[in-house]
Structure 1
Amino acid sequence: MPKDNTPDPLDGIAETLDRAALAAIAQATRGLSPATMVLAASDWAMHLASSPGKQMQLGAKMARKYLRLFDYLGRCACDPAAGPAIEPLPQDHRFADPAWKQVPFDQIAQAFLLSQQWWHAATTGIGGVSKQHEAQVSFAARQMLDLFAPTNFIATNPVLQHRIVETGGKCLIDGFAHLVEDMERTLRGEPPVGAEHFKVGETVATAKGKVVWRNRLIELIQYAPTTDQVRPEPVLIVPAWIMKYYILDLSPENSLVRWLTGQGYTVFMISWHNPGSQDRDLDLDAYRRLGPMAALDAICAITGAARVHAAGYCLGGTLLSVAAAAMARDGDDRLASVTLLAAQTEFSEPGELGLFIDEAQLNVLEAMMWSRGYLDSSQMGGAFQILRSNDLVWSRVLETYLMGEREPMIDLMAWNADGTRMPYAMHSEYLTRFFLDDDLAEGKFKVDGRTIVLSDIHAPLFVVSTERDHVAPWHSVHKIHLLTGAEITFVLASGGHNAGIVSEPGHAGRRYRVLTREAGGPSHDPDDWLTRAPQKEGSWWLEWGRWLDARSGEPGAPPPLGAPDKGYPPIADAPGRYVLEK
């Protein structure tokens, strides 16, 4: 039979039906792939069932834990101050209140912690289970344990019981009122209680400046100088488009923008457009071209600078790495330095955020985005909350809805509630090319049809990670040492993904470790680096300021805001229009 190259008329219909079905599944599961969960559970269960040795070990472990618990009960009967059978993990503060030392609540807490330890043993170390499936099952077990923790129930939480007695039950009434209020706000699409006090351009994002360039994807903000003289190299900040830019210009006292201008730098900030359905086809290359590359053209034209210090935060730092590698490949030497803030360039160990990134999961996410053209911020925010369910979910349920105490809103929390969307093409490409295939680190990432490699970057790098980062774990961020021979000053700051970056001088309790690897020098693994890097007290911003100063020219007169004669007239006052898009 001759070949029939005529397209099958059912192709389009079949694809539409498949995507629609997957989109419906995704909505029901909040974007999780049932296939991924079933495969992981099946892999774990079948290999555990066929491992009599592991079963024997788990049985013995369970018996030993019961013996430890009974031993603890016996010791407590003789000596109420007897030491515990097990201590919580360092980051677990659920049982820190002295009320948990009283009978029978101490026994309940000890039984829970021993069970938690046993389940960790039951979900790990089983021969034949893939590393990905083991991590997924272990993560799911922790979520279930967190759900049924004794802290979440009136009958088993002495702190909550004391609060109920103390308030005569009013805390439960107040908590129910908070629950109803929060549900109503969610249904109306309103921000959480208190966020209305942090208005963009009035109480946050208040640094003075002008929007000097706008295209369909970015507004470029040039901030007004606050010193008589400025360094000749301006600073371009590329924030992540998964968030509004003003995390770096929060309240006046913790604004990185204000601090930089106070150090004598001309600062430019990219403010990303919040995409809608009409932007579904914006891909990673569009973000590169219309974002940092367009911004660099504008900055050099406005200031006359030959070189620019570029800084990228989170996803913006990953994009900046791509742009810097492409520029180095093409002989574009406009970058005087590159600063990466909590940004990954190597994704083989992305932390728990990458647990459910596989082909099946991406298929579901793509179907969900395909139906609307974007991924909504609520879905991304929910994923981040689950990664820290103890801190961000169950502690909130306990404090707000059971104890009736609503945590006061602060600027960082209000910013976190001001979410953005991710366009279909870009997000799908990002998850596939970075998280799934790790193309950038493996030398397979192409820009303009040609491969780029981070080893082409020779500009000095200042790389900041944070100790408790659940989005970009510092061990993963540290791997940039393996990808380029450029000079790298690596900083490990206290705090998490957001609060560790917003670390203004004078903030109590801040500290960091820093170590510089000279260009072409040997690399150290993260644990070795940790032993070598000296710890310093205070804000890493000061370290960065000194680092920038050492790589900048002598100060001179500040440039004008915008350059109308070069096609960059001031368009509007900062913070501009895009940051206000909902």
Structure 2
Amino acid sequence: MTTKDNAAGAKLEKMTTNLAKIEALSSRLMAALAARPASDPGVQGPGQEIYMKAATAYLAGLMQNPSRVLEQQISYWGKTMRHYVDAQQALASGELRPPEDTGPKDRRFSNPVWDSNPAFNYLKQQYLFNAEAVQNAVAVMEGIDDHERKRVDYFSRQIVDMLAPTNFLGTNPDALERALETDGESLVRGLENLVSDIEANNGEFAVTLADPEAFVVGENLATTPGKVVFRNRMLELIQYAPSTETVYETPLLIFPPWINKFYVMDLKPQNSLIKWVVEQGFTVFVVSWVNPDASYADVSLDDYIREGYLTAMAEVRRITDQPQINAVGYCIAGTTLGLTLSHLQRAGDTSVKSATFFTTLTDFSDPGEVGVFLDNDFVDGIERQSTADGMLSKTLMSRTFSYLRSNDLIYGPAIKSYMLGEAPPAFDLLYWNGDGTNLPCKMAMQYLRGLCQGDGLAKGTFPVFGHAASLSDIKVPLCAIACETDHIAHWRGSFNGIKQMGSEDKTFILAQSGHIAGVINPPSKGKYGHYTNPRPVAGAPDDWKTTASFTQGSWWPRWADWLANRSGSMIAARIAGESTNPALCDAPGTYVLAGTARLPKG
């Protein structure tokens, strides 16, 4: 038998093995999909009303201004037909070349085959023509308000992005090339990845974004030394060990969002905000929220304020023997910090010396991109599903936020994992992104109905312990950090909320980048810059930005200086977990480990 025969036999054996694996994996896939629990249709997509409104608006435009609509359609037909004729002529002449390609550059089509191969180039150009036509059709709709137009535009783009040829095996040259190179092994690995993801998510589709084996919370993430010094059913309170001989007198208490886990601020040491703040000489306390299950169904925002905010504030004052603290709220925790400050002002309680808001919305009159999910078609479905489950599941929230950046957080990772058979990267931020938490049903609906839909805090109607909270009641010195490309808490909305607060001492900082990268931006990286303006936080957000000064680099040092001026004198460093307040366990505590992919050893 020749060497060539041996190679052919080995290839045949490999193919037979792969086919057997595919058969076994297909059976597992069917079983995993069958195990998917029933879910409310309202959480799967927008209601039919939006499609009816879109169709009605398009027809209205056709009736009222037919020439405008026809011009748009004729332009589309002309481009597609001209491209088809050019492709046919090139084929008839025997030239294996694509027709002229003057379309926009799109990183989804970075493989050179999309430009050099006539068939793939034809698919690409026709897809881009169709995508442009859909966008133009939405743009010319008449008789539809701005909010509905945004929703139609968003969900139209979702459909267009979903139908990109890169999302299908037969029209993805990267996947086909990899399959040929590996004799189909990449497709087997991809199917293994798909089946594993669906099994891990109880039949739901959720692509794994980061290698779950690469990180362990408490071992190579969330490693800043500290102690859990208090625990109740809502939180663990972590006091971090000092790294300086002296510290500022006034302690700092950070409230992270309970939609995710606190260690986004304590990833690796080189990008840990918590570690950096400790190194600046502050006594730092951080709340680690419980990851609620169905037994927390009736927990309300009042409970988060009473057993979370007020209790943590009291414990920090007791432990440090200080009458006041400085407080930080991040995202939804910033919104709730605003509610808490309004309550404290009404009660005559001066225990908060200053407040800092990270990427926080308190005025929801324009909720930004996330607003497409805040109409009743979605919120009604969320309420029905959450009532049945006792909680708003982390899977549903993660999926919703991922669709705000679907090409980056869904389709791109799915292509790499399922078509190319690649293992997910060892990326700490993406690992954290996949380590989500649930929300109690009652609290979630109060937030969605009363704050997001009703804009109750800005309108002064949202109740805290039975009394309406108001932005004008927030009178402590405050600093707000918003992020320029934030798709969850857009910076203009953040600005509009801050300007309505009653404080006479306001600082607003606009950081470059998004909801996470704009905040977790250590000075050592020298990466994203920020805008500041000595003018009052008033007027239109864009006017403020136009006259603002830009500084390259992190906003952290600027905030640390602001905080230092409101933190009193320097005293001997406080030791976490002293005999007067014994530690319950080491940081990062136990609550943060609920639902993590891997637990620390021991």
Same fold (TM over 0.5): yes
Q: CA 1:165/1:549 → structure 2, altered by over 3 Å: closer, same or farther?
A: same
RMSD of the alignment, in Å? 2.9
Deviation at 1:55, TM superposition (A): 5.0
Query: For residue 228 of structure 1, what is the aligned residue in structure 2?
Result: 245
Provide the rounded CA distance (Å) in 1 between the counterparts of 2:371 and 2:589: 34
Deviation at 1:348, TM superposition (A): 1.7
Q: 1:507 aligns with which of 500, 525, 543?
A: 525
Provide the rounded CA distance (Å) in 1 between the counterparts of 2:424 and 2:274: 28
Contact 1:75 1:82 in 2 (8 A): yes
Contact 1:68 1:85 in 2 (8 A): no
Query: For residue 54 of structure 2, what is the aligned residue in structure 1?
Result: 44
1:571 and 2:592 correspond: no
Deviation at 1:237, TM superposition (A): 0.5
Structure 1 unaligned runs (5+)? 1-23
Deviation at 1:316, TM superposition (A): 0.8
Q: Deviations over 1:186-240 (max 9, x none)?
A: 3499995732332222221122112111122111111111110001111110011
1:246 and 2:302 correspond: no
Please list, as runs of the form range in 1=range in 2, the aligned pairs for 1:440-455 lying within 5 A after superposition.
440-455=457-472
SS of residue paired to 2:373: coil
SS of residue paired to 1:366: helix
Matched pairs, number:
549
Please list, as runs of the form range in 1=range in 2, the aligned pairs for 1:76-155 lying within 5 A after superposition.
85-88=102-105, 93-104=107-118, 105-155=120-170
Provide the rounded CA distance (Å) in 2 between the counterparts of 1:227 and 1:522: 35
Contact 1:237 1:269 in 2 (8 A): yes
Query: For residue 31 of structure 1, what is the aligned residue in structure 2?
Result: 43
Query: For residue 397 of structure 1, what is the aligned residue in structure 2?
Result: 414
Q: Deviations over 1:536-579 (max 9, x none)?
A: 222222222222223332321123435765xx542222222221
Provide the rounded CA distance (Å) in 2 between the counterparts of 1:378 and 1:398: 20
Matched to 1:29, the amino acid is P
1:426 and 2:443 correspond: yes
Q: CA 1:194/1:407 → structure 2, altered by over 3 Å: closer, same or farther?
A: closer
Q: CA 1:98/1:500 → structure 2, altered by over 3 Å: closer, same or farther?
A: farther
Provide the rounded CA distance (Å) in 1 between the counterparts of 2:307 and 2:552: 39
Please list, as runs of the form range in 1=range in 2, the aligned pairs for 1:229-308 lying within 5 A after superposition.
229-308=246-325
1:317 and 2:334 correspond: yes
SS of residue paired to 2:458: coil
Provide the rounded CA distance (Å) in 2 between the counterparts of 1:488 and 1:65: 51
Contact 1:292 1:320 in 2 (8 A): yes
Contact 2:521 2:528 in 1 (8 A): no
Provide the rounded CA distance (Å) in 2 between the counterparts of 1:428 and 1:522: 31
Task: Please say which of residues 293-302 and 55-64 is displaced more in the overlay.
Answer: 55-64
1:494 and 2:509 correspond: no
Matched to 1:31, the amino acid is V
Q: CA 1:454/1:136 → structure 2, altered by over 3 Å: closer, same or farther?
A: same
Contact 2:60 2:141 in 1 (8 A): no
Matched to 1:573, the amino acid is D
Query: For residue 60 of structure 1, what is the aligned residue in structure 2?
Result: 71
Q: 1:370 aligns with which of 360, 378, 387?
A: 387
Task: Please say which of residues 257-266 and 38-47 is displaced more in the overlay.
Answer: 38-47
Provide the rounded CA distance (Å) in 2 between the counterparts of 1:549 and 1:215: 30
Q: CA 1:54/1:232 → structure 2, altered by over 3 Å: closer, same or farther?
A: farther
SS of residue paired to 1:40: helix
Q: Deviations over 1:479-508 (max 9, x none)?
A: 124312533322232332223222122226
Q: CA 1:187/1:112 → structure 2, altered by over 3 Å: closer, same or farther?
A: same
Q: CA 1:479/1:82 → structure 2, altered by over 3 Å: closer, same or farther?
A: farther
Query: For residue 538 of structure 1, what is the aligned residue in structure 2?
Result: 553
Provide the rounded CA distance (Å) in 1 between the counterparts of 2:100 and 2:64: 32
Provide the rounded CA distance (Å) in 2 between the counterparts of 1:240 and 1:354: 19
Contact 2:58 2:140 in 1 (8 A): no
Provide the rounded CA distance (Å) in 1 between the counterparts of 2:413 and 2:422: 9
Provide the rounded CA distance (Å) in 2 between the counterparts of 1:490 and 1:85: 43
Q: 1:209 aligns with which of 226, 233, 243?
A: 226
SS of residue paired to 1:338: strand
1:385 and 2:397 correspond: no
Query: For residue 408 of structure 1, what is the aligned residue in structure 2?
Result: 425
Provide the rounded CA distance (Å) in 2 between the counterparts of 1:352 and 1:26: 28
**Identical aligned pairs, as a percentage?**
35
SS of residue paired to 1:440: helix
Provide the rounded CA distance (Å) in 1 between the counterparts of 2:98 and 2:549: 39
Provide the rounded CA distance (Å) in 1 between the counterparts of 2:416 and 2:593: 31
Task: Please say which of residues 240-249 and 351-360 is displaced more in the overlay.
Answer: 351-360
Contact 2:98 2:122 in 1 (8 A): no
Q: CA 1:334/1:536 → structure 2, altered by over 3 Å: closer, same or farther?
A: same
Q: Deviations over 1:376-398 (max 9, x none)?
A: 11111111112211111111121
Provide the rounded CA distance (Å) in 1 between the counterparts of 2:258 and 2:273: 18
- TM-score, scaled to structure 2: 0.84
SS of residue paired to 2:507: strand
Deviation at 1:305, TM superposition (A): 2.1
Provide the rounded CA distance (Å) in 2 between the counterparts of 1:109 and 1:533: 42
Contact 1:72 1:85 in 2 (8 A): no
SS of residue paired to 2:426: coil
Query: For residue 548 of structure 1, what is the aligned residue in structure 2?
Result: 563
Contact 1:54 1:126 in 2 (8 A): no
Q: CA 1:93/1:338 → structure 2, altered by over 3 Å: closer, same or farther?
A: farther
Query: For residue 14 of structure 1, what is the aligned residue in structure 2?
Result: none
Q: CA 1:187/1:364 → structure 2, altered by over 3 Å: closer, same or farther?
A: closer
Contact 1:213 1:220 in 2 (8 A): yes
Matched to 1:496, the amino acid is G
Deviation at 1:103, TM superposition (A): 4.4
Matched to 2:330, the amino acid is Y
Q: CA 1:526/1:131 → structure 2, altered by over 3 Å: closer, same or farther?
A: same
Matched to 1:205, the amino acid is A
SS of residue paired to 1:343: coil
Deviation at 1:173, TM superposition (A): 2.9
SS of residue paired to 1:94: helix
Query: For residue 12 of structure 1, what is the aligned residue in structure 2?
Result: none
Contact 2:98 2:116 in 1 (8 A): no
Contact 1:517 1:523 in 2 (8 A): no
Q: Deviations over 1:141-199 (max 9, x none)?
A: 11111111122234433444444444444332332232233333334999957323322
SS of residue paired to 1:528: helix
Contact 2:246 2:570 in 1 (8 A): yes
SS of residue paired to 1:441: helix
Deviation at 1:424, TM superposition (A): 1.0
SS of residue paired to 1:47: helix
Provide the rounded CA distance (Å) in 2 between the counterparts of 1:46 and 1:458: 48
Matched to 2:270, the amino acid is E
Q: CA 1:206/1:332 → structure 2, altered by over 3 Å: closer, same or farther?
A: same
Query: For residue 528 of structure 1, what is the aligned residue in structure 2?
Result: 543
Deviation at 1:28, TM superposition (A): 4.7
SS of residue paired to 2:529: strand
Provide the rounded CA distance (Å) in 1 between the counterparts of 2:85 and 2:55: 36
Matched to 1:308, the amino acid is I
Matched to 1:300, the amino acid is R
Q: CA 1:128/1:165 → structure 2, altered by over 3 Å: closer, same or farther?
A: same
Structure 2 unaligned runs (5+)? 1-35, 91-96, 596-602
Query: For residue 3 of structure 1, what is the aligned residue in structure 2?
Result: none
SS of residue paired to 1:144: helix
Deviation at 1:311, TM superposition (A): 0.9
Deviation at 1:300, TM superposition (A): 1.0
Matched to 1:411, the amino acid is D
Q: CA 1:99/1:479 → structure 2, altered by over 3 Å: closer, same or farther?
A: farther
Query: For residue 593 of structure 2, what is the aligned residue in structure 1?
Result: 580
